[in-house]
Amino acid sequence: MHRWLLRGLGLGYLAMLLAAPVGVVFWRAFEHGIGPAWDAVTTPDARHAFYLTVLIAAIAVPANTVFGVVCAIAIVRRRFPGKGIVNALVDLPLALSPVVVGLAFLLLYGRGGWFGSWVSDHGIQVVFALPGMVLATIFVSLPFVVREVVPVLREIGTEQEQAASTLGASPLQTFARITLPSIRWAVAYGVVLTTARALGEFGAVSVVSGHIVGKTETLTLHVEERYQSFDYVGAYAAAVVLAMLAIGTLLAMSVFRPKEATR
């Protein structure tokens, strides 16, 4: 009796909140057949938005992966002044509104910003252009690799690394032969989460992009812009592309997910 009640409550909640809405979007996108949906996602603007989204992720994800591994090693293995601050700063992007993140980059690199005149004197456009969007994406997707790698590094301990260096391995050799193989699944999981966040970021990118159609419009911004211009098929079709990327992410997550018992 209890069991059925709880099961009904939990599954009903998930169905209403999650399964039904996502299902309806797929249905709406293909309401008029596959043809119009396909046409909508292959317009030059949509294709450029897709290209830009992938390009930004292709810069932000490797940058955050390298930083994430280095930073995790620093947090777990090294002692340095301000370590507590570094630890707190890494989690900060999770607690910040994406709009505030966007505002921060405007205030740094925009007109009248701290580095605004310096970058424009050097002919670089950061805000309302690719560099600003990349910076905002790096900011919001920064914590994931660090947070996945830190617990694994703690758990594996330092004995093998110490043994390797006693036997004459250089720090780089120790890293490549001992540390990296033991953290590779955690890194992979972190990369999946980083990629998901980078592909799907909306708020921060929305503020710094300037919404120039066909120029600084990512796929998420494209969904909004199409919806606001009452092109529902275009909005739903682009949303379905993003939803399929998300489902791909879910599959990758279930492959790389750290087993609860070993955490």
Partner 1 sequence: MGLATAYLSLIVLLPLAAVTWKAAKSGRTGFWQVVSDPQAVSALKLTLVVSVAVCAINAVMGTVIAWILVRDRFPGQGAVNAIIDLPFALPTIVAGLTLLTLYGPRGPAGVNVAFTRTAVLLALLFVTLPFVIRTVQPVLLELDRDMEEAAASLGAGSFAIFRRIVFPNLFPAILSGVALAFARAIGEFGSVVLISGNLPFKTEVASVYIFGRIESGDAAGAAAESVVLLVITFGVLLAIGTLRRWTTRHDRA
What is each CA distance from 122 to 109, 130, 195, 196, in whole angstroms? 12, 16, 31, 33
Our finding on whether 21 is near partner 1 (CB under 8 A) is yes
**CB nearer to partner 1: pick between 4 and 167:** 4
- Give the separation between CA 117 and CA 155, rounded to whole angstroms: 48
- Give the separation between CA 210 and CA 229, rounded to whole angstroms: 17
Sites for partner 1 among residues 203-262 (CB under 8 A): 203, 206-207, 219-221, 223-224, 227, 235-236, 239, 242-243, 246-247, 249-250, 253-254, 260-261
**CB nearer to partner 1: pick between 3 and 168:** 3
Among 33, 35, 44, 80, binds partner 1 (CB under 8 A): 80
**CB nearer to partner 1: pick between 145 and 168:** 145
Buried b (16+ CB within 10 A) or exposed e, 197-224: bbbbbbebbbbbbeeeeeebbbbbbbbb
Among 61, 71, 164, 178, binds partner 1 (CB under 8 A): 71
CB of 168 to partner 1, least distance (A): 23
**CB nearer to partner 1: pick between 168 and 263:** 263
Among 3, 33, 167, 168, binds partner 1 (CB under 8 A): 3
Structure tokens at 211: 């919404």
- Give the separation between CA 215 and CA 225, rounded to whole angstroms: 13
Dihedral pair phi/psi, residue 249, rounded to 5°: -60, -45
Q: Which amino acid is it at 224? A: E
CB of 191 to partner 1, least distance (A): 14
Sites for partner 1 among residues 115-144 (CB under 8 A): 135, 138-139, 142
CB of 114 to partner 1, least distance (A): 6
Contact 241, 41 (CB under 8 A): yes
CB of 181 to partner 1, least distance (A): 21
Among 52, 57, 183, 200, binds partner 1 (CB under 8 A): 200
Sites for partner 1 among residues 91-110 (CB under 8 A): 92-108, 110
What is the CA 16 to chain-centroid distance, rounded?
Answer: 26
CB of 27 to partner 1, least distance (A): 8
CA within 13 Å, CB half, 26: 8
Our finding on whether 169 is near partner 1 (CB under 8 A) is no
Sites for partner 1 among residues 24-53 (CB under 8 A): 24-25, 28
Q: What is the DSSP letter of 129?
A: S
**Strand extents, DSSP E, 113-195:** none
CB of 243 to partner 1, least distance (A): 6
Among 30, 67, 128, 175, binds partner 1 (CB under 8 A): 67
Cα four-point dihedral sign 108, 109, 115, 117: negative
Residues binding partner 1: number (CB under 8 A): 81
